[in-house]
Structure formats: structure tokens, C-alpha cells
Structure 1
Amino acid sequence: MDLRLLRYFTVLAEELHFGRAATRLHMSQPPLSQQIKLLETELGTPLFTRTQRRVELTAAGVALKGQAALVFAQMERAVDLTRQAGRGHWGTLEIGMISSLMVGLLPQALRIFQDRYPDVKWTLHELQPAAQQAALKERRLDLCFYRMGPNDPELTSEPLSSEAIAVVLPQQHRLAKRTRVALKDLAEERFISFKLDQSRFAAYLYQSCIEAGFTPHVYQQVVEVQTLLSLVRAGLGIGLLPASTGQFGHAGVVYRTLAQPAPGTTLYATYRKDDPSPVLQVFLNIMREMIEVPDR
């Protein structure tokens, strides 16, 4: 059915007068009468009864009037959603992340994003970087966050923020009284590390120790930050973590700054090069704004 015919019908059903309806539609009365007859022929039933004194809806006309209102309301909704989707104000966003990022930039950006664009449904997926990258290439994720940029021609990364690496010690550790600890001072310690075969960040920290003059004794390898902190608190070893993870407030451990030269870490946002998603760009723009105005 031609929506123009439905529009003509709706106006006439509201006015019940061909002259007034034609005026509202900015057309003359004869063409309006022809269009209504065309609609009635298409539907196979009269929609109006016409006399010299009045125009009234038939039972079929009453039914169509009610349904036409729903059609136009849905059309307006469709147009509005389409425009919102085109601007990135409606849709979905699947985000991959590692648990250590749930302090600082990312949760703040999510709060701003939620406040500005409540019609976008976003979902967090807590995954290791290798799993994030695979899901991103398989289009199960739209955006990933981790601390080492990918080496993949299908993906692009942009650095968002950098921070220092801190050594995490049991509260009663011999080095806990210091304000700064040199990496080489950890040569005899047992390390609690993220899994070396799954985390490029862990491999980077391992190599940093080698460059400092020793091969670290990796006592246990874990996946989650909280597991690492719990093992350190129990006195089973020490760890190297981004300084921001100290905001988790894990009792029984202390964070100490590494003396220079010391490794650092950068947070990257990673996404597919061929992804045109407006929602993705809107979220990335929020993070870029936060970097430009860090005290936001």
C-alpha cells in the first residue's frame, strides 16, 4: 500500500470533509476524491459513506483509522531510530576488556556514555587479550581494551593513557619500607605473574627484568588481578602491576614505585579497520575527550 494514500485517508478520516481535508493536504478536492477511491479499490471495501451533507466512516474505515495511526507512529519511530543509529545514539556496543582496567579511564567513560546515550546497549566481556583479539576479528566484539597493541593488519589501535608499573609487595616484606624499589632489587624474589603464554604484557614485564640484569623466578602464573594480589598478600611472592590497580584497595599488600629506569604501560583501544559503526566512534570520541581534559 502506498503510504501517501494512507495519509490522505487519515486526514479525511479526521476532518470528515473533503474540502477541509484537501486544504490540509495542499491539494484540490477532485484529486483527493480520486485517491480515496483508488485506496478503496485496492482494499476492496468502502471506507466512507458520502452524502450531499456529510461524510462518515464505514466500519472498515473505523478499523483502518485505528491501524493507520499505529502505522504512522511506528514509521516515526523507525525514522527516529534510523537517525539516532546514524549518529551513533542508538544501537549496541560489545566491549572486550581485562579486569585490571576497571579503575580509571574505562569505567568513567562508560558512565559518561551511559548518561549521554541511554538508548545504546553496551555489554562488557572480560577476556584475556588473545581471546579479545580473536573475538574482535570474528565480529563478536566491536572494541577491545588491553595494554599492548596488536600486531595484526586487520586491526587498528590508538593509545589512550600511559602509567607507571609498580611492584606489589606483602605488607611485611623487607622492601615495603622503601618509597622506591629498583627492578634489580627484585632479582632474588619469587614472582606471581600473569600467564606468559597468554599475556603479551606479562612477557613484556619478564623481558624488562632480563634487561635489568636478571631472569625472574616465576613462581605462579595467574589470569586475574585479584588472584595475583591474593597470592602476594599470602606472602607467596611479589608482583608487577600497573600503578592504577592500587585503587582496588586490596588489604595486606603495598604498592611501591619502581626507580628509573623502569617499565611503563600504555592502554590501547583496538578495533577493526573496516568497522564503520557510528556507536563505536561516539564511544571513542568520549575517551578522546577525556584524554584531552584529564580532570574531567
Structure 2
Amino acid sequence: MELRHLRYFVAVAETGSFTTAAEQRLHTAQPSLSRQIRDLEEEVGVDLLIRGARGVELTAAGQAFLEHARGTLAQAQSAIDAARRAARRLKPVFALGFLTGQEIEWLPEAMRVLRDELPKIEVTVSSQYSPSLRDALVKGDLDLAFMRPEPNVPELEYRLVVKEPLVVVLPSDHPLAACEKIALQQFIGETFIIVSHTAPTVRTVIDEFVLQSGLDIRASYEVDNLAMAVSLVASTRGLALLPCYARNFLPSSLTSRPLAVESPTIDLVIGYSRANTSPILSLFLSRIDHLLARCRSIAAENQASIA
């Protein structure tokens, strides 16, 4: 008796039809299925099914056999799952985190660093707010994250990737879209959309920039993420100050412009725990200079395109 015999029997018992079981559950020919069930009944030594005009019914022996057949198949699947989990654990896991939206730009760069190691390791990727990435690094749930430098976390080490300038995001047909650059004074009287404290580093930079200008510019809306910012700019025809990577996610109905003054910048860093002894992390960090050089070259090109 083989597991396939049990699978065939359970499929026929549950569907009540050789035809349905063959075509929809087992994807095999009905004559082959009927032959397999006959072989099973011969091995068991009793009839398990009653074949009639209205379909298939279980005999009393078939009812008893069905319960044990299901249990055996479940145990077999559990054994398979356990073996696969054990095999996966043989590979070291390297857990990467990204500030939501940044993975599109920086995940390929990170994977390029690990290219030679990829056959030997399992890489997991998560996308979260920067404070959540901070917590995951401290707990050991992540090995490394592309994030904002979160203050007052002595357990973490940061290395600068790029300094991202703020840009103005606005509707493509907004009157200010005709300007090559936008002065902060032009925000006065406009709907101003600002990030909430879910992104505390970005919010602090924007608040300080507006405060130092001495202008009476107040936010009309606060948004928790980039998708909300894009949606509100489109629906309210307002203006938003966002890190320049937001340009990668703008639909054709929105555009971006640089500020007329020197733009404040927001650091994007890689963060990791000082206590993390992962050999994959050590390897990644040993190769980080090449990655950072590439990142800064890309950033320089992006800033040149903004200017």
C-alpha cells in the first residue's frame, strides 16, 4: 500500500464521484483511478466503496478506513514539512530591512554585495517604518536595515548611505509646476501636506526648515506613509515636502520640483546592532565601502537631475 492509494481513496470518498475526483482533485484518468482503488480494496481485503448510479458511497469498512487514511496522510505531510524546515535551517539566514519604499532602489545594491554568498544563505526582506526597523534590529529580528538614524539607541551602529534632499511634490498641472524651482514663500495659501510623527526624523527636519524660514506655513494634513502623501497631493491639489526618493513612486498626474534655496537633507543609513555576531553581517560590512561608493554616485546623479 502506498500513500497515493490513500490520497486516491480520500479524494473519491470526499467528492462522492470517481469522475470528479479524477478530474478536479487528482488530475488523472478515471480508469486509472478506478484501478488504483480496486488494488487498494484487494490489499485491504474488504470493499470500501459502493458504486451506484447516484455516485459512490462508503461501506462501514470504508468509513472506518477513511478516518485512518486521513490521519496517515496528515502525518506524512507533517513529516515532509518538518524535513523541509530542518533543511532550511541548515542555511544561515540574513534578515534585511528597508524603510518602506527604499527597497526598490537599494535592495538590488544589497543583493549585489551578497551575490557570491546567495547560494549558501537565505535572505529575508521586510519593509517597515524606521522606528519599527530600529526595534527589530535591537531585538535581533533583523541583521541590517536601510533606515533613518534613530536617536538615543546606543545598541545600534549607523553608517551613512546618502543624504537625501527634500523636494516639493505637487500636481503636474498645478500653476507652480511651471516653475523650475519653488520657494518656500510660495507654499503660503496652498494646501500643505506633511508627514506625521510615524517618520520622526523626516518630520523633525521639515519642522525645523519651516520654523527657520520665519514664514507662517501650517500643515493642512498629516500623512503616515508615502502612499497617503501621493494620494492626498493628488486629491487636494496640495504641496508636500518629501525626501527625493519619493519621485520614484509618483504617477503621471504628479511631479516634483527642487526648492529654490539649499534643501535640507535627510540621512539614509544602514543600521545594525553592535551585539550582532552574524558572520554574514560581518561579511556584508567588510564589503560595504564599494556599496557606499556606488550609492553616493547614484545620489550625486539624482541630485544633479533635481538641480
TM-score by length of 2: 0.61
User: Does structure 2 conserve the Cα–Cα contact (< 8 Å) formed by 1:171 and 1:254?
Assistant: yes
Alpha-carbon distance, 1:204 to partner: 1.6
User: Does structure 2 conserve the Cα–Cα contact (< 8 Å) formed by 1:189 and 1:217?
Assistant: no
What's the secondary structure of 1:100's corresponding residue?
A: coil
Aligned equivalents of 1:120, 1:279: Cα separation in 2: 9
User: Does structure 1 conserve the Cα–Cα contact (< 8 Å) formed by 2:233 and 2:239?
Assistant: yes
Aligned equivalents of 2:217, 2:94: Cα separation in 1: 39
Q: Which position in structure 2 is the counterpart of 1:55?
A: none
Q: Which position in structure 2 is the counterpart of 1:204?
A: 205
Q: Which position in structure 1 is the counterpart of 2:183?
A: 182
Alignment of 1:269-288 (within 5 A): 269-288=270-289
Q: 1:162 to 1:135 in 2, by over 3 A?
A: same
> Which has the greater radius of gyration?
1
Aligned equivalents of 2:178, 2:261: Cα separation in 1: 18
Q: Which position in structure 2 is the counterpart of 1:112?
A: 112
Q: 1:258 to 1:175 in 2, by over 3 A?
A: same
Is 2:167 the partner of 1:166? yes
Q: Which position in structure 1 is the counterpart of 2:261?
A: 260
Q: 1:161 to 1:197 in 2, by over 3 A?
A: closer
What's the secondary structure of 1:234's corresponding residue?
A: helix
Q: Counterpart amino acid of 1:108?
A: P
User: Does structure 1 conserve the Cα–Cα contact (< 8 Å) formed by 2:150 and 2:201?
Assistant: no
Q: Which position in structure 2 is the counterpart of 1:30?
A: none
What's the secondary structure of 1:218's corresponding residue?
A: coil
Aligned equivalents of 1:286, 1:248: Cα separation in 2: 29
Is 2:100 the partner of 1:99? yes
Identity score, percent: 23
Task: Tell me how large the CA RMSD over aligned residues is.
Answer: 2.6
Alpha-carbon distance, 1:291 to partner: 2.3
What's the secondary structure of 1:245's corresponding residue?
A: helix
Q: Which position in structure 1 is the counterpart of 2:28?
A: none
What's the secondary structure of 1:117's corresponding residue?
A: helix
Q: Which position in structure 2 is the counterpart of 1:194?
A: 195
Q: Counterpart amino acid of 2:111?
A: R
User: Does structure 2 conserve the Cα–Cα contact (< 8 Å) formed by 1:206 and 1:215?
Assistant: no
- Structure 2 gap segments, 5+ residues each: 1-89, 299-307
Aligned length, in residue pairs: 209
- Structure 1 gap segments, 5+ residues each: 1-84
Q: Which position in structure 1 is the counterpart of 2:224?
A: 223
TM-score by length of 1: 0.63
Identify, as 1 or 2, the structure richer in helix.
2
Alpha-carbon distance, 1:183 to partner: 2.3
What's the secondary structure of 1:166's corresponding residue?
A: strand
Aligned equivalents of 2:279, 2:223: Cα separation in 1: 37
